[in-house]
């Protein structure tokens, strides 16, 4: 998906956005979502659909896929197979929700999610990848990461949490680190959930004003509102440097959470030859929504 040409500036009350030559002001504290944002959120960033997937179709499809995931995990437990699935994307891209639906009916004893907080003082003194390796799957486990070592590919360089030298070294070393994961026999998946700027702002607004989810909106989110282009440049550089044959990036256009969840599940289920796999239940991927590597990221 092509980078959206926009300039973003922070103002005293929110963010000023120049999209396609039209300047808009977004104040997250205003409880009323602007009409221009509500109208264009779903199709922002070149999203190929102007309506969300029908709810009944989504429910039926998700149930079929979740049944297959239960079968997959049972096969993994009987064979000792291991799976590691990491999710990356801009804030509010839908990583946590996708993981929740993915794992909803999987046995929590063998299907774990990892969402690490910022490094401790001890962890900052370790090899950068070390604290993540401690959570890798053992035999029969399916492990998801809600963000991962790729913090150093995006958030850290944009927000100044690592040095330029550390960032460059990370981009150079990560493909070899991931080659070791694959050679170990772990089935390894990397998903980048990509969304448009207007959709991100709409989701931020929803979070900010919800008494149930306002805890998800952080000071880091507020600080990042004015860094849309910087995050986009870091994303492009990261995916270009770390996409490989042994550890490819799956890119999922994520303005519609329903389609996102379906395509993530399909990609995993189609990539692992578990017993009694039902191809008809899994269905075919939507090539408008999911693709592979930097070429699909640029394709719009």
Could you report the per-residue pLDDT of 66-109, keeping only the tens digit for each? Answer: 999 999 999 999 999 999 999 999 999 999 999 999 999 999 99
pTM of the model: 0.94
Could you report the per-residue pLDDT of 133-157, keeping only the tens digit for each? Answer: 999 999 999 999 999 999 999 999 9
| C-alpha closest to that of 137 among 184, 68, 88, 179 | 184
Please, what are the domains in the chain? 50-195+227-298 (3.40.50.300)
Does position 170 have pLDDT exceeding 50, yes or no? yes
Q: How far apart are CA 105 and CA 108, in angstroms?
A: 8
Could you report the per-residue pLDDT of 2-12, keeping only the tens digit for each? Answer: 444 445 655 55
- 64 Cβ contact list (under 8 Å, min separation 6): 278, 281, 282, 283
Residues 279-295, mean pLDDT to the nearest whole number? 97
Determine the straight-line distance between the first and last CA of the chain, rounded to whole angstroms.
5
What percent of the chain has a predicted confidence (pLDDT) above 70?
A: 93
Q: How far apart are CA 12 and CA 1, in angstroms?
A: 31
What pLDDT is stored for residue 2 in this prediction?
43
Q: How far apart are CA 47 and CA 141, in angstroms?
A: 34
What pLDDT is stored for residue 7 in this prediction?
58
Return mean pLDDT, the chain: 93
């Amino acid at each position: 998906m092509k980078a959206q040409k926009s300039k973003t500036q922070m103002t005293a009350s929110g963010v000023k956005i120049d999209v396609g030559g039209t300047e808009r002001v977004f104040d997250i504290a205003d409880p009323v979502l602007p009409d221009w944002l509500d109208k264009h959120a779903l199709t922002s960033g070149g999203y190929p659909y102007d309506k969300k997937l029908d709810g009944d179709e989504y429910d039926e499809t998700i149930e079929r896929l979740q049944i297959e995931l239960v079968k997959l995990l049972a096969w993994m437990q009987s064979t000792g197979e291991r799976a590691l699935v990491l999710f990356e994307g801009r804030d509010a891209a839908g990583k946590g929700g996708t993981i929740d639906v993915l794992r909803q009916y999987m046995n929590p004893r063998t299907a774990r999610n990892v969402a690490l907080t910022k490094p401790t003082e001890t962890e900052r003194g370790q090899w950068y990848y070390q604290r993540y390796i401690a959570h890798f799957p053992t035999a029969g486990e399916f492990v998801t990461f809600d963000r991962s070592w790729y913090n150093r590919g995006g958030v850290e360089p944009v927000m100044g949490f690592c040095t330029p030298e550390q960032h460059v070294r990370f981009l150079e070393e990560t493909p070899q680190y991931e080659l070791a994961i694959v050679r170990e026999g772990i089935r390894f998946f990397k998903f980048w959930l990509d969304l448009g700027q207007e959709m991100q702002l709409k989701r931020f607004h929803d979070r900010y004003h919800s008494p149930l989810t306002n805890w998800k909106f952080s000071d880091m989110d507020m600080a990042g509102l004015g860094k849309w282009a910087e995050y986009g440049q870091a994303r492009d550089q990261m995916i270009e440097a770390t996409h490989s044959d042994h550890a490819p990036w799956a890119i999922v256009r994520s303005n519609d959470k329903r389609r996102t969840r379906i395509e993530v599940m399909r990609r995993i289920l189609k990539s692992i030859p578990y017993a009694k796999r039902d191809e008809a239940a899994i269905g075919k991927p939507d090539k408008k929504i999911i693709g592979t590597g930097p070429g699909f990221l640029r394709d719009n």
